[in-house]
Amino acid sequence: MSQGILVFVEHRDGVLNKTSLEAIAASQSLGSQLQQPISAVLLGADVAALAQEIAAYDLAKVITATNEKLADYTPDGYTDAMEQVVRQLDPQLVVMPHTYLVRDFAPKLAARFSKSLISDCIRAQVAGSSITFTRRIFLGKLDADVVSDGEPPVLRRSNPEPTGRIKHRREAARRLSRWRSRLVRFA
């Protein structure tokens, strides 16, 4: 049975991408609601020092997938490595930060599992065993609520809402509430 939340941590030459911290924070919030442990995965040739840094962020475990072929990013290399990690750990949810690198390889990873990628998520709400993800559509003018089929792994690309834009977005959502998209199921 699938369990836990796996967070992909992006870095360049051993320097952590700050959006990975946002993905960890979003996963921790979701993990507390689902009562699921949070694990992080680092890909690269030499990521031991970065793994020590990430371990301080209240994670159940930090997984490192190391190989010389992962020293420089390639979509095929990262997809292959992530596929192996996801298959071995069998997480309920895989969370990835909203970056160009993830935008490049995440759809390919989702296809390997015959799953859809729920991208650009700004919120996640738990109701029972179901998770509703909210994502922006039409250049941020509307929010769409998306519910996966529940079959793990659920692949989510996180895009936290900037705090400075919340008031503006909420007002726009009120005005456009009749256009609000509600439920999409993935098979």
The per-residue pLDDT string of the chain (187 residues; one tens digit each, 9 = 90 and over) reads: 578 999 999 999 888 999 999 999 999 999 999 999 999 999 999 899 999 999 999 899 999 999 999 999 999 999 999 999 999 999 999 999 999 999 999 999 999 999 888 888 888 888 877 889 999 889 888 999 998 876 788 888 776 654 433 233 444 444 444 333 333 443 3
pTM: 0.82
Phi, psi of 61 (to 5 degrees): -160, 160
Vertex 98, ends 66 and 154: CA angle to 5°?
Answer: 75
* Residue at token pair 């911290």: 21
Question: Which domains, and CATH codes, for the chain?
Answer: 5-120+153-162 (3.40.50.620)
Q: CB neighbours (10 Å) of residue 104?
A: 14
Beta carbons of 165 and 128 less than 8 angstroms apart: no
